[in-house]
Amino acid sequence: MNTVQNLIDILKQAGMRITPQRRAICAYLAENDNHPTAAMIYDDLKAEMPSLSLMTVYNTLNTLANLGAIHVIGQAGDDTVHYDADTEPHINVICINCQKIVDVPSEHLVEIRQDIDRQSGYRLIGSRLSFYGLCPDCQAKAESSSGH
């Protein structure tokens, strides 16, 4: 998982200035193991930094994503893009009801990547591996409401 300093160093090495806004966004990403949207980060940081604008959050997330420091998961059944500060290869399992996202590591990911290298001819840069389903909570709710 990325540490705050790690993310800030990546920005520095890319020649970008370290602003309080960027520092706060990096801290949020490093200190939470959720899979936030731009709006989630904005809402959270607004309390401690009232002048923050959503545009800055979008800009910083795009910058970090372009540098490969974070990953773009994409939508989760809602209509908003989620980000992942964990860039280690892993699978994100998404609840289509409540949008909760959990991580699942798998040693088979390496083999899959090899399959693609051999078969596609693409020069791979990243991946977005999502499974969809109902989380345990939402399964329970679905069962109790549909009547046994």
CA distance 111 to 14: 32
In the complex, what is the shortest distance from the CB of residue 105 to a second copy, in angstroms, rounded to a whole number?
Answer: 8
Site string for DNA, 14-53 (x = CB under 7 A): -xxxxxxxx--------------xxx---------x-xxx
Size of the site for Mn ion (CB under 5 A): 4
Task: Tell me which long-range contacts 109-117 makes (C-beta under 8 A, separation of at least 24).
Answer: 113/89
Q: Which does 95 bind (CB under 5 to 8 A by kind): Zn ion, DNA, Mn ion, none?
A: Zn ion
Both tokens of residue 98? Answer: 């409540």
Q: Which does 92 bind (CB under 5 to 8 A by kind): Mn ion, DNA, Zn ion, none?
A: Mn ion
Query: By the 8 A CB rule, do 101 and 44 touch?
Result: no
